């Protein structure tokens, strides 16, 4: 129990570097030890998820546009 409350959570990017940074940031914020550091509402979380989805789609589109055919 002590380690749960005192030790930092593992960074998901250390476990799987392919996880998009925005997803890792969402997970880290959801699991923050300090309640004030977490999302304060479901709406705030959904906004972060939607922003992340947009970013991932934009990056995918940019990558596919730069790939040689």
Condensed to tens digits (0 to 9), the pLDDT of residues 43-67 reads 999 999 999 999 999 999 998 887 6
Q: How far is CA 40 from CA 5, 25, 45, 47, in A?
A: 19, 15, 8, 12
Burial class of 27 by CB neighbour count within 10 A (0 to 12, 13 to 18, 19+): middle
* Per-residue pLDDT reduced to its tens digit, 11-37: 899 999 999 999 999 999 999 999 999
Domain count, the chain: 1
Using only C-alpha atoms, the chain has a radius of gyration, in whole angstroms, of: 15
Q: What is the domain extent for residue 24?
A: 3-65
What is the pTM (predicted TM-score) of this model? 0.81
Cα 8–Cα 13–Cα 17 angle in degrees, nearest 5: 160
């Amino acid at each position: 129990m002590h380690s749960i409350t005192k030790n930092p959570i593992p960074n998901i990017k250390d476990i799987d570097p392919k996880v998009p940074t925005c997803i890792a940031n969402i997970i880290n914020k959801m699991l923050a030890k300090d309640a004030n550091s977490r999302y304060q509402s479901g709406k705030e979380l959904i906004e972060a998820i939607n922003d992340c989805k947009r970013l991932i789609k934009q990056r995918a589109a940019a990558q596919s546009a730069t790939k040689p055919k």
